Structure 1
Amino acid sequence: MPAPSRAFPGSASPFAGATAFVTGGQGFVGAHLCERLLAEGARVVVPRRDVHPDSRFRREGVEARCDLVDCDLADFASLQRVLAEEGVELVFHLAAQTIVGTANRAPLSTFESNVRGTWLLLEACRSVSDQLRGVVVASSDKAYGQAEQLPYTEDTPLQPRYPYDVSKACADLIARSYAATFGLPVAVLRLANIYGPGDLNWSRIVPETCRALAEGRRPVLRSDGSPRRDFLHVADAVEAYLAVARSLTVPGLAGRAWNAGSGRPLAVIELVERLIELAGNSIAPEVRGAGTPRGEIDEQWLDSRAIASELGWRPQVELDAGLASTYQWYRAFLAEKATAASA
């Protein structure tokens, strides 16, 4: 059964009237989460930082509806001040270095962002724990590393090997230690590969394939197309964040890690071929790789039965519908950019 939720005082929605602090709010998933929290009636506070002018956070008006604050995520005193002064009740920690290839090239900055940034934030949260109702820390299926048995369940040991995967596992463990040791209302959300409108990280397979198809180019695969992944639409990822946040008002659910994915693995080549078909194109992808690129994991997908049975979350966006709408967003976005450039 879904866990009961406790509304914030005087509200119909569990989030109406609450102040939510979203690190990484300017990013792909963060912008969607901010937008959803605003729709629920929350006040959304986001650390001020440089924003890509083409980001959804700015282009689609999310930024204008959030309260931006000067906050250095690498500085404990800065974090503590913002949490206290803004009266933050909910924290969603999404700020991270999120690209596997970048992590392999620059492990130091990745560990600084993903690991140190997490413990500084959690320590700041501990200092204002009397006002906090919940902290949700973003993790990833990458935290599990290579496993002999799939899908991953929440009890699968974390055995990462590569820098990005290790950084997510470290943040995951640190977060849960704050619940076990200090009673902080914190939980971890381990998500599958997220896709959807607004992701401008062109090194990822869905954005780059959509861009290639919109521009009439052959999509490029860095692998041989055989690696299998679990793909989850960003709208479903956001609903998972909200479900986990609601769970933290229920006694006994702090300190949990939750999986959220489709549970249906798909080979990368199949994903690209689906996008080609949905785009109404007959172009063939360009396969440049052999096997799985070094530093990446061959097969990954999640068992999400726990979050479904205990919190009532299930993915709602069917893959083909999600890919089709995502492609249409990129096509419109790129056409607008091209028109502006030629004006």
Structure 2
Amino acid sequence: MHGWNNKNVLVTGCTGFVGRHMVQELLRLGANVTGLVRKPPSFQGMNNVYGSLGDFDVIKQALVDNRIDTVFHMAALAVVGEAHLNPMAAFETNIRGTWNVLEACRQASVKSVIVTSSEKVYGDLAIPPYVESMPLLGRHPYNVSKSCADLLATSYFHTYQLPVCIVRCGNLFGGGDLNFTRLIPQTIQSVLKSKPPVLHSEGSSVRDFFYIEDAVMAHLLAAEKIERFAGEAFHFSYETPLTILEVVERILKNMNSDLQPMILKQMSNESNQYLSAKKARDLLGWKPVYDFESGLRRTIEWYRNNKDHVIH
């Protein structure tokens, strides 16, 4: 990664799992980072602008006052179940919030905008591996909200030539994720508590898992290449899809645990969802630094070293 020293960058969602890692890496690279926050973040070195995605004037003023060159739009209501229970919140955050960011960037003449998306934009009917040319067919609240956000980003490129790029990854994992409803943190937590991990489905659904540090570097690469590839979407993936049960078994193996997962079969299996990263490899020259196994080992090490955050 290069060219970030003294670059003025704004990150939305900077107190979330992905955003925190992004801010830390940008600060390490010497960028001048501004974060849109609703409460003080847990790290120093960032310029805080207090507001939410619903505050258009606050966003625009932050871009102008800080002479922002690059925006990483990472804020989202990102829990699928929460979006299902509260669709209005999902649409307000993921759709209205995205057009507020895009319009503010347009009016402030921001030079590059990277929108963090999801494999969920393709809905449940597409046949994997997903490629970027597939139609966006989200049907349920979270999927629809992310599909709409991507369409808005594409619209701003084609209509206003806003230099925007969409980054889609699968299920992100890594140290610092304290959302224990997610598979990997939940399973590691169970093992650290000497409790068998619980699967509510049969565990046969196939998913795409991607280590957070590779995801951060993928976003930086997309921003660095935006002059040539504005308006494009890119997938980043290890292209080694795994079943839910396989992920749990690999965690147990890496933690030297003889616990056996409890498979309750209370939920029907969802469709398989995973990505092709061929476009990113061919056009961006992208190569991951890690793979699933090495990322998983680093993740387990983080949770072991931070048991106070994990066992409660």
Cα distance between partner residues in 2 of 1:210 and 1:160: 31
Partner of 1:241: 219
Counterpart of 2:239 (choices 257, 263, 266) is 263
Cα distance between partner residues in 2 of 1:84 and 1:228: 44
Give the letter for the 2:169 counterpart. Answer: L
Task: Give 1:147-166 correspondences, 5 Å limit.
Answer: 147-166=125-144
Over the matched positions of the two proteins, sequence identity in percent amounts to 38
Any idea what the Cα deviations from partners look like across 1:180-221, whole Å, max 9, x if unmatched?
Answer: 000101111111111110111111000000111111111111
Any idea what the Cα deviations from partners look like across 1:14-73, whole Å, max 9, x if unmatched?
Answer: 21111110000111111111111112211111012236xxxxx62xxxx21111112332
Partner of 1:31: 20
Q: More displaced, 267-276 or 70-79?
A: 70-79
Cα distance between partner residues in 2 of 1:336 and 1:304: 34
Give the letter for the 1:144 counterpart. Answer: Y
Q: How far apart are residue 336 of structure 1 and its match?
A: 6.7
Counterpart of 1:201 (choices 151, 156, 179) is 179
Give the letter for the 1:100 counterpart. Answer: V
Give the letter for the 1:314 counterpart. Answer: K
Instruction: Decide whether the 8 Å contact of 1:21 with 1:46 is kept in 2.
Output: yes
Instruction: Decide whether the 8 Å contact of 1:227 with 1:291 is kept in 2.
Output: no
Cα distance between partner residues in 2 of 1:218 and 1:202: 15
Task: Give 1:112-191 correspondences, 5 Å limit.
Answer: 112-129=92-109, 132-191=110-169
Counterpart of 2:77 (choices 91, 97, 111) is 97
Partner of 1:77: 57
Give the letter for the 1:331 counterpart. Answer: R
Give the letter for the 1:276 counterpart. Answer: L
Give the letter for the 1:13 counterpart. Answer: H
Q: Which runs of 5+ in 2 are unaligned?
A: none
RMSD: 1.7
The TM-score, its normalising length taken from structure 2, stands at 0.96
Q: More displaced, 216-225 or 91-100?
A: 216-225
Give the letter for the 1:318 counterpart. Answer: D
The TM-score, its normalising length taken from structure 1, stands at 0.87
Cα distance between partner residues in 2 of 1:50 and 1:278: 36
Instruction: Decide whether the 8 Å contact of 1:226 with 1:291 is kept in 2.
Output: no
1:273 maps to 2:249 = yes
Partner of 2:291: 318
Cα distance between partner residues in 2 of 1:245 and 1:266: 29
**What SS is found at the alignment partner of 2:231?**
coil
Give the letter for the 2:25 counterpart. Answer: R
Cα distance between partner residues in 2 of 1:230 and 1:292: 19
Q: More displaced, 273-282 or 73-82?
A: 73-82
Q: How far apart are residue 315 of structure 1 and its match?
A: 2.1
Cα distance between partner residues in 2 of 1:211 and 1:34: 26
- The structure-2 alpha-carbon separation of the partners of 1:69 and 1:292, relative to structure 1 and needing over 3 Å to count, comes to same
Q: How far apart are residue 291 of structure 1 and its match?
A: 5.2
Q: How far apart are residue 335 of structure 1 and its match?
A: 4.3
- The structure-2 alpha-carbon separation of the partners of 1:111 and 1:41, relative to structure 1 and needing over 3 Å to count, comes to same
Instruction: Decide whether the 8 Å contact of 1:185 with 1:254 is kept in 2.
Output: yes
Cα distance between partner residues in 2 of 1:112 and 1:48: 17
Any idea what the Cα deviations from partners look like across 1:90-122, whole Å, max 9, x if unmatched?
Answer: 000000011111111111101110010000111
**What SS is found at the alignment partner of 1:64?**
coil
Instruction: Decide whether the 8 Å contact of 1:187 with 1:257 is kept in 2.
Output: yes
- The structure-2 alpha-carbon separation of the partners of 1:336 and 1:174, relative to structure 1 and needing over 3 Å to count, comes to closer
Instruction: Decide whether the 8 Å contact of 1:195 with 1:232 is kept in 2.
Output: yes
Partner of 2:6: 17
Count of residues paired in the alignment: 312
Q: How far apart are residue 321 of structure 1 and its match?
A: 1.8
Give the letter for the 2:29 counterpart. Answer: E
Instruction: Decide whether the 8 Å contact of 1:239 with 1:313 is kept in 2.
Output: no
**What SS is found at the alignment partner of 2:172?**
strand
Partner of 1:305: 278
